Amino acid sequence: MESAILDDTDRGLVHALQIDGRASFSMIANVLGVSENTVARRYRRLRTAGVLRVVGSTNGLLLGYTSWTIRVRCTPDAVDAIATVLARRSDTFWVHVLSGGTEISCNLQAPNDAERDKLLMDKMPRASRVLDVTAHALLGSPGPNQWRGLHWLATDQAARLRPTPPQQVEGLIHLDDRDHTLLAALARDGRASYAELAADTGWSESTVKRRIDHLRQVGVLVFDVDIPPAVLGYYTEARLWLTVRPSALLKVANDLARHPEISFTAITTGRTNLVAAVICRDSSDLYQYLTERISSLKDVHTMETAPLIRTVKRAGAVLPR
């Protein structure tokens, strides 16, 4: 779809869903000043066209899982096959081809070291055309990591939609099998009806609603809007790996998270200690961002930039049990 197809109502709907992916169509309609049927029709049109979907994402850190960002260097003739294999795994998300088609990046949520090692130390190194594999554990992320390119509503409109922030919970949160079934269903469709989710889990609709509310309140379940930036006129994406002075690491991470070009940032292990995802309108905007915004951060010692060539899989990982 061309960006021109998204009018003011579409953009308001997208922003509303970024604020609360489970907000009712009637609530969104009230904020936008249109009918509920209009909102429902616009959502169905965008979703059917493959442009917009809402995804339930799980914060594995609160469950004792480890989140990793993985980089795979391989020969050009192997990149499509390896990226496809990674994308087919239920525990991966954000699988991208980078750097002229010789590198793949993806995120992985692993419940334990054994599951992580199956991929990183067993399966990947055995592929003869894999040249190098590096993995950075994601230690923490400042803020909600919401790309501001989706923002459209006025401040007072956004405030009417904003859900209650998650509460701080001490210790790990434990899920049962039906919780996992619920989260897997929401990873496929974050706006699945309570009736559909009840059929998947075997719970009643009221139990499903109560469980979703609880998982959101403790921060395990969040809802993300999955929309290709090109639909909105943003055609250049890149991944940044930064080396930052340790004493300023949290400050720089917070500074980056406030940049409108940033859709994700996290503190990591590894040779670099900060990763970020950048979305710009074109390569000129990316050049300006790197040379003016990033270069002004005096505590950044090194920067590696990898342009995103193709996205093979977006959001929607399912936690291994």
* Domain positions in the chain: 230-309
Instruction: Tell me the pLDDT tens digit for each residue of 192-234.
Output: 999 999 999 999 999 999 999 999 999 999 999 999 999 999 9
What is the SS3 assignment for 85? helix
Q: Are strands 221-226 and 53-58 parallel, antiparallel or unpaired?
A: antiparallel
pLDDT at 114: 76
**Where residue 180 falls among pLDDT bands split at 50, 70, 90?**
very high
**Residue type at 207 in one-letter notation:** T
Is pLDDT larger for residue 86 or for residue 4?
86
Q: What is the pTM of this model?
A: 0.90
Q: How far apart are CA 133 and CA 114, in angstroms?
A: 17
Fold of 230-309: Alpha-Beta Plaits (3.30.70)
| Entry field: residues in the chain | 321
Buried b (16+ CB within 10 A) or exposed e, 46-55: beeeebbbbb
pLDDT at 123: 63
**Residue type at 271 in one-letter notation:** R
Q: How far apart are CA 84 and CA 80, in angstroms?
A: 6
What is the SS3 assignment for 86? helix
Q: Is the pLDDT of residue 255 over 60?
A: yes
Q: Is the pLDDT of residue 242 over 50?
A: yes
Cβ proximity of 240 and 305 under 8 Å: yes
The set of residues, in sequence order, having a beta carbon less than 8 Å from that of 219 and lying 6+ positions away, is 59, 62, 166, 167, 169
Burial of 259 (0-12, 13-18, 19+ CB in 10 A): middle
What is the SS3 assignment for 248? helix
Instruction: Tell me the pLDDT tens digit for each residue of 92-129.
Output: 899 999 988 899 999 998 887 777 777 666 566 556 78
pLDDT at 288: 97
Average pLDDT over residues 291-314: 94
List the one residue out of 252, 72, 258, 255 whose CA is nearest residue 148.
258
Q: How far apart are CA 276 and CA 256, in angstroms?
A: 8
Average pLDDT over residues 295-308: 95
The pair phi, psi for residue 4, each rounded to 5°, is -65, -20
**Residue type at 22 in one-letter notation:** R
Average pLDDT over residues 30-53: 96
Q: Where are the beta strands (DSSP E) in the chain?
A: 53-58, 66-74, 92-98, 103-110, 130-140, 221-226, 236-244, 262-268, 274-280, 300-313
pLDDT at 118: 72
**Where residue 4 falls among pLDDT bands split at 50, 70, 90?**
very low
Alpha-carbon separation of residue 276 from 3, 50, 106, 291 (angstroms)? 25, 26, 13, 16
**Where residue 321 falls among pLDDT bands split at 50, 70, 90?**
low
Average pLDDT over residues 232-246: 96
